[in-house]
Structure 1
Amino acid sequence: MEKVKASLKIPSSLDWSDPDPCKWTKVGCLDNRVTRIQIGKLNVGGTLPPELRNLSELSTFEVMNNQITGPLPSLAGLSKLQEANLHNNNFSSFPSDFFSGLTSLVHVFLDYNPFEPWEIPESVTDAKTLQTFSATGANIKGRIPGFFNFDTFSQLRVLHLAMNNLEGELPNGLAGTSIESFWVNGQRLNGTIDVIQNMSSLTEVWLHGNQFSGPLPDFSMLTGLQNLSLRDNQFTGVVPASLINLKSLFVVNLTNNELQGPTPKFADNVIVDMRAGSNRFCLDDPGVACDDRVNILLSILEPVGYPQTFADNWKGNDPCNNWLGVACAQGNIVSILFAKKGLTGTISSNFAKLTSLTTLDLSGNNLTGTIPVELTTLPKLTKLDVSNNRLYGKLPPFRQNVVLVTEGNPDIGKDKAPTPDGKSPGGSSSGGSSSGSKKSNTGTVVGSVIGGVGGLSLLALGIFLYARKGKRTSRVQSPTTVVIHPHHSGDQEGVKITVAGSSVNGGSETFSHTSSGPSDMHMVEAGNMLLLMANIQLKQDWQEHLGIWRQITGRVTTKVDVFSFGVILMEMITGRKALDETQPEESLHLVTWFRRMHLNKETFRKAIDETIQPDEETLASISTVSELAGHCCAREPYQRPDMSHVVNVLSSLAELWKPAELDTDDEFAIDYDMSLPQVLKKWQAFENSDESSSFLASTDTTQTSIPCRPSGFADSFASADAR
């Protein structure tokens, strides 16, 4: 305490003259040990000494609203500290180990200090009893850490990070937390705010002054929300009724966005900041409905996420007044021309409500799903162009005079939906049982799965493995047998999957899984089949990402496949197993360890497999893949991307991942000047060739439906050939 006294400039109002610090003003003791220092708002100057951390019984430390300068000393090890009020001073820097060992910390206030730029350190996770973390205007940089989640901070009620230099998206881990007051306003945050809809304890949300975009989420679960500030962002779409009708709402601010549809009319007791003309509402009168044509067009945009380009160009209440992509005749909409507008999502059946429509052009986008049968009811339709999308399914029965353009959709005309990566499903295009196919006579339907996945996802993975410099990470070294048998149980039909291979120590590894029926077929889709073929911690991964998931949820979905795919990416980046019992408890599970290591650049560099030795350019690519891996392994299934997004990310990096030296002697090596679909066709042609038959006859097993790996794949992928 004498060190504290010597470092601070104590005003005359504080009597700190007694030799016994327990008798000093604003200092409290218990059993002659200092437990409280409460000198806030007393015009205290000077600095805080590092010896402060030696006050091991300190539970309350208040120095807020003073003029204290210099670096903030670490309080690491003060295990009894419950409250630290440090806001409104002039501290110059924040120590990264500040929170280490603060296992009793409940409230911390760091607001309005001119710290040098700093990132929220992982050491804050030591304070699992934290209820308030407030650091507004504290010069924080980087992203909002993913460890602000319910698993780590189940008691967190206040998270104030406003007026800093944060960027990126809101972390998915916020969903399900008990946070009541959430401030992140005045920064460079972007993306959607969908995570908000699952923060059911919220009473106050300040998101204004960022770059958030997309439609507003469903607010029906936020039954206690009172104060919502969304102004000065880029939100689009219609204000949802779940917000307008929220009975708890007291203040709402929507000014300066690109919201569309009717101007919302809130209850009379709600204070509304929604300046006229600051959005894209059809009319300025609250509660007045838009023109029916406007309502239909906006409903059509809902399945594609209300793209900002339309919000920028659709103004007023008359869609025939020079609206983007809309052509009219005598006040009736006759043409919708949305070609190459970057649309992602599905085709709305509400196009059928535009009864004067003659031309509908949706070509050159990224649309999925099927063509709605409702479009066949359009009485004047003469042309429908859906070419170059990712649509599937049988064509609805249009009239003979309708020109239907569908080229560039490889799955059009097939009953089955494409696999999650957007490639063609295997098996019969009529959707019949595989038991009647040629390959089922030998007891395998591997081809129906790999045919859709191998041509694109495996190629992307193989290219990435080049950066691994041939390192072997799999515990299974020799080729593995993957056999999928038709399975009958009572009236139900499914599949039985058997996997066998030789392990490093010379032993064998064999296990099986039997599905309960056709709905279980998801388990052999993209991610899980890749998991099997890659043989990465073979049995443990299968059990952890499939069996355990079934026990918890009772079902397996494509989102489990996406999770497994993310684990594979993490394993390739780090060279570690998904579950490594040789590691300490906190590093046992790869996914949780990877999330922690990815919080900042320095720890992430240490997590990368040392054999990669990345330069800055390679590191940038690996960072992109690591972001993707984290996205795939989000805790909630709905927060994970579709495999189509995964493929888009990996494909964009394919050019950077080309090996320096190619094996040009192999006829079936990867040609990097070919597109991925072209490579797939080349492999399929090889599969049907005489040479393929000769090759298969010479192998020990005959269960494969694709040729042996092309020579363009890294050696470490050799054990990943499914036979």
Structure 2
Amino acid sequence: MLRRHHLLLPLLLFSAVLAAGDDGATVLNIASSFRPPPTGWSSTSSDNYCKWPGITCDTSNRVISINLSSKSLSGTLSPDIAALSELRTLSLQRNALSGTVPSFANLSSLQEVYLDSNGFTSISPNAFSGLTSLQTLSLSNNAGLSPWSFPDLSQSTGLVELQLDNTSLFGPLPNIFASLSSLKNIRLSYNNLNGTLPASLGGSMIQNLWINNQAGGFTGTIQVLSNMTQLSQVWLHKNMFTGPIPDLSKCLDIFDLQLRDNQLTGPVPKSLIDLPALKNVSLSNNKLQGPFPIFPSSVEKVVVDGNNNFCDNDGAPCSPQVTTLLEIAGGFGYPASLSDSWSGNDACQWPFITCDAQNNVITVNLAKKNLVGMISPAFVNLTALKNLNLNDNQLTGSIPDGLTQLSSLRLLDVSNNNLTGDIPKFSGLVNFNFSGNSLLGKSSGSGEGGSASGASGGGSDGNLKSGGSSKNSIAMIAGIVAGVLIFVAVVCFVSYKCVMNKKYGKFGMVEGSDAEKGVVKSPANSGGMNGNGGVAVEMQSQSSGNHSDRHFFEGGNVVISMQVLRQVTDNFSEANVLGRGGFGVVYKGELHDGTKIAVKRMECVSTGTKGMNEFQAEIAVLTKVRHRHLVALLGYCINGNDRLLVYEYMPQGTLSQHLFEWRENGHAPLTWKQRVTIALDVARGVEYLHSLAQQSFIHRDLKPSNILLGDDMRAKVADFGLVKNAPDGKYSVETRLAGTFGYLAPEYAATGRVTTKVDVYAFGVVLMEIITGRKALDETLPDEKSHLVTWFRRVLVNKDNIPKMVDETINCDEETMTSIFKVVELAGHCTAREPYQRPDMGHAVNVLGPLVELWKPSTQQDDEHSGIDLHMSLPQALLRWQADEGTSTMYGDISYSDTHTSIPAKPSGFPDTLSSSDGR
């Protein structure tokens, strides 16, 4: 027996040595895959690998932890990592690793994986399956990953934290969350996830749920939240969720609820307003209805306004008829179509509703509206109702018995639905049509029993009538007469248009002496409408004698004559030159009312019909854009081949003057607080421009990128892309960066390809200027320092050198340096060499926003009150523009009605048109 023990001991020692040798070889392979190997690591020998910096081993020399976060590593992560069978923690976050994330499958000891903020490009199949001990998985901010679906984590039942935001995830979420009973935090923001929220979320213990800012967006309802009783922070903004906000009375720990920028409908429930822990709530840019919600003072930040459809703005109850109709809409699930059309507090102004002289609702016509759900018993509260049309929908449930109590009811049509239950008994005065509901009147289990004979007035076709023949005859005659009148009106209109086209040509050539004087007039003025009402405006070339390029142009844009611009700029005097660039020359001017303007006289513009159409399409948008961080385009002028744009004037110059020439201009140096605030303003302004570029309602022939480019293809961002520092309005921040190589992304400098990522790169350079107080390109410095981005990257290799790069005028206390490090990191991400590695501007806003919040007072004003909401979609912005101008139009299948906004379409007192007599 003793001999056996003597033989066994060497075998055990040999096995331990062999195992240790295996980890040594694996670590050596991992070291060789890094570029360069980490400090203190060898790529040629695995001697003493357990003592290498960042490596922790157990008593058997098995690697249990690798911690190399923020070590400026590049290269790849070797797939041999899977051979470290005892590995528990892997921390490689905030490096520059690329290539494929290797498989960790079946590493039963692995508990924590941190790979966030790298440059990985793909994920190995089943990389995270079989990780039975996994507690934390973080891959955040690997935006260059190829699209991949949600990983198999079904065996990771001890998972506590999952961070996969900004990792190119796409597709639906699996229904696995009931088995992940330990999961507390899940962050899936900034991906391309879609589909509905899985029901298993309702049985989870999740506390923090971040699934905001999906490219396509989750759809369906958020009803599952009502069963997620452990929730504390919920970020669902910027998706496509529909339906009402659910009852959250069981979610007592929610303190932060972000539901903005969805398509939620229905009233804000009292259970949300009464949440005891709530501190921060955002509901703006939805389709919410009912009374304006008033939250208690314990809620510190409330953002509710912004494109919702509340019946008022003061929190008072809605009118009784509006309240009833909203209850009726609730029976249909609060469809978005009714929210868009049923807004305000006067039901008699709503479509599909007719009222009598006493403002009582007498007709509700919701036929063929693709409605689902049930017929609400609330109809009984419309006591004057005469006609109710609900036919040709997909309604289920029964017909409420209460409808028989409506003494004025004369027409009820519920035909062609999926209704069930008994048929109520209506009086003989009611024309009742219930055909096309095969289960109506048939009780379950009774075979063919339950006929319609119990209802008054017979009719085997399901149409119960009283005096039907005479009424139908009258209705038919009225319909024929109406049809004839409509036909005659259409014929007259078409004939008129044909005559006008023959008289004035395709574009409506303008004749008369007024045009020769450069006066712009509205042909509809006599009718009480002006250019702001959407009436065609005659846009002249302002050149006497040649009328060939005068066109009718839709929109309420400010047209300024060439004579006026010559007068206010002293005939484009050199003394009034504000700047020059590849786009042309900018001149200072002052209108007769004292308004100071900046006039850009563009060069190298497109000519011909297509060029004119594109220019007009751009102007139609640009003159309507109002955002607190964008310098406004006030008007324009077309004079032959000249194109001139008129902007608001920024009297205190540009950011560059305050950064680099503050001594010469007699300014104090910018504080770090001011610089971060400016950076946030720039990010918000450019993010808004990008949101415009992503929309497609603009002119059919105008590519979205041209909204950012204007006619000058060399320009970096929009012709209206002058971002301004909003808090004090002191100066503009030029983000149009053409002609300065230091601002240009590599792909733009080589190929001229323009994307939003090119703007992100330029923004990163602006951040570098703000941090260092140095110009993007300074030829007065030695070659190795003249190009800011190249020098900045070299400094970032060793983060200990960062304090040395900071502008010496900044007071760098501990708090400031913490903030600076975050902005430095953001600048590095924004200027990544590959476009896919750069974030979008929304990410920049999210990074900079909390830094600025540190300096804000406790009672904060909403940033968007003085301009169009940064996060507003372009159709929503269009709605506000049209509301400003008192118009109503159709876009796609959505009707935009008049609403009120405090945002002016143009500065107060600025005229619709300006003639030579208006000049000074």
The bucket for the TM-score relative to the shorter chain is 0.5 to 0.7
In the alignment, structure 1 residue 372 sits paired with structure 2 residue 393: no
Q: Which secondary structure does the structure 2 equivalent of 1:411 belong to? A: coil
- SS of 1:311's equivalent in the other structure is helix
Partner of 1:344: 372
Which amino acid is the alignment partner of residue 197 of structure 2?
L
Distance 1:47 1:338 in 2: 61
| Contact kept? 1:132, 1:157, Cα under 8 Å | yes
Matches within 5 A, 1:507-656: none
Whole-angstrom distance in 2 between the partners of 1:318 and 1:372: 26
Give the equivalent residue in structure 2 for 1:90.
Answer: 119
Structure 2 residue ranges without an equivalent (≥5): 1-26, 453-920
Q: 1:98–1:381: structure 2 CA closer, same or farther, 3 Å change rule? A: same
- 1:421-440 to structure 2, matched below 5 A, reads 426-429=447-450
Question: Where does residue 222 of structure 2 map in the other structure?
Answer: 193
Please list the CA deviations of residues 217-265 of structure 1 after superposition, one character each: whole Å capped at 9, or x if unmatched: 1212212212111111111111111111111222111110000001111
Q: Distance in 1 between matches of 2:340 and 2:375?
A: 21
Counterpart residue identity of residue 192, structure 1: T
Q: Determine whether 1:21 maps to 2:49.
A: yes
* Residue among 386, 389, 397 paired with 2:425: 397
TM-score of the aligned structures, taking structure 2 as reference length = 0.44
CA 1:279–1:61 in 2, change beyond 3 Å: closer, same or farther?
same
Larger C-alpha radius of gyration, 1 or 2?
A: 2
* 1:2 lines up with 2:28 in the alignment: yes
Q: Give the whole-Å Cα distance in 1 for the aligned partners of 2:295 and 2:399.
A: 37
Letter in 1 for 2:101: L
Alignment of 1:321-332 (within 5 A): 321-332=349-360
Q: Please state whether the residue corresponding to 1:404 is helix, strand or coil.
A: strand
Equivalences for residues 139-538 of structure 1 within 5 A: 139-147=168-176, 149-151=177-179, 153-187=180-214, 188-285=217-314, 287-414=315-442, 416=443, 426-429=447-450
Cα distance between partner residues in 2 of 1:267 and 1:237? 21
Q: Residue 281 of structure 2: SS of its match in structure 1?
A: strand
Name the structure 1 match of 2:915.
none
Code of the aligned partner of 1:255 = S
How much does 1:155 deviate? 1.2
Q: Which amino acid aligns with 2:124?
A: P
RMSD: 2.1
Q: What secondary structure, in the 3-state scheme, does the structure 2 residue paired with 1:396 have?
A: coil
AA at the equivalent of 1:260: Q
Structure 1: 4+ residue segments shifted above 4 A? 10-18
Amino acid at match of 1:429: G
Q: Which amino acid aligns with 2:49?
A: P
1:120 corresponding residue in structure 2: 150
Q: Residue 294 of structure 1: CA displacement? A: 0.7
Residue 19 of structure 1: how far off its partner (Å): 2.6
Whole-angstrom CA distance in 2 between matches of 1:226 and 1:244? 12
* Secondary structure, counterpart of 1:93 in structure 2: strand
1:461 alignment counterpart: none
Give 1:2's aligned amino acid.
Answer: L
Residue identity matched to 2:391: S
How many angstroms apart in 2 are the aligned matches of 1:111 and 1:167?
18
Q: What code does the residue aligned with 1:60 have?
A: T
Partner SS, residue 37 of structure 1: strand
The answer for the alignment partner of 1:637 in structure 2 is none
Residue by residue over 1:453-486, the C-alpha shift from the partner in whole angstroms, topping out at 9 and shown as x without a partner, is: xxxxxxxxxxxxxxxxxxxxxxxxxxxxxxxxxx
Percent identity of equivalent pairs: 41
Offset of residue 390 of structure 1: 2.4
Tell me the alpha carbon deviations over residues 176-198 of structure 1, each in whole angstroms, 9 at most, x when there is no partner: 11111111111121111112222
In 1, the alpha carbon distance for the partners of 2:264 and 2:39 equals 52
- In structure 1, runs of 5+ residues without a counterpart are 420-424, 432-723
Question: Secondary structure, in 3 states, of the residue corresponding to 2:324?
Answer: helix
Match of 1:72 in 2: 101
Match of 1:503? Answer: none
1:180–1:202 CA contact under 8 A, matched in 2? yes
Q: Tell me how far 1:354 sits from its aligned partner.
A: 0.9
Task: Tell me: CA distance 1:377–1:92, structure 2 relative to 1, closer, same or farther (3 Å).
Answer: same
Structure 2 counterpart of 1:221, one-letter code: K
Distance 1:12 1:189, change over 3 A: closer
Q: 1: CA distance between counterparts of 2:194 and 2:421? A: 40
Deviation of 1:369 after TM superposition, in Å, equals 2.1
Judged with a 3 Å threshold, the aligned counterparts in structure 2 of structure 1 residues 6 and 392 are, in CA distance, closer, same or farther, namely: closer
- Whether the 8 Å contact between 1:180 and 1:203 is mirrored in structure 2 is yes
* Partner Cα distance (2:41, 2:440) in 1: 84
Sort the Cα spacing of 1:100 and 1:306 in 2 relative to 1 into closer, same or farther, 3 A.
Answer: closer
| 1:92-107 alignment runs, 5 A limit | 92-107=121-136
Contact preservation (8 Å) 2:353, 2:361: no
Shift of 1:15: 6.2
Do the aligned partners of 1:99 and 1:126 also contact (CA within 8 Å) in 2? Answer: no
Shift of 1:215: 1.3
CA deviations over 1:295-326 (Å, ceiling 9, x no partner): 01001111110111111111211111143344
Change (3 A) 1:184 1:351: same
For each residue in 1:703-722, what CA deviation from the matched residue of structure 2 results, as whole angstroms up to 9, or x when unmatched?
xxxxxxxxxxxxxxxxxxxx
State the 1:370 CA deviation: 2.1
Residues 59 and 82, structure 1, Cα contact 8 Å, conserved in 2: yes
Are residue 110 (structure 1) and residue 139 (structure 2) matched? yes
1:139 and 1:105 map into 2 onto residues whose CA distance is 22
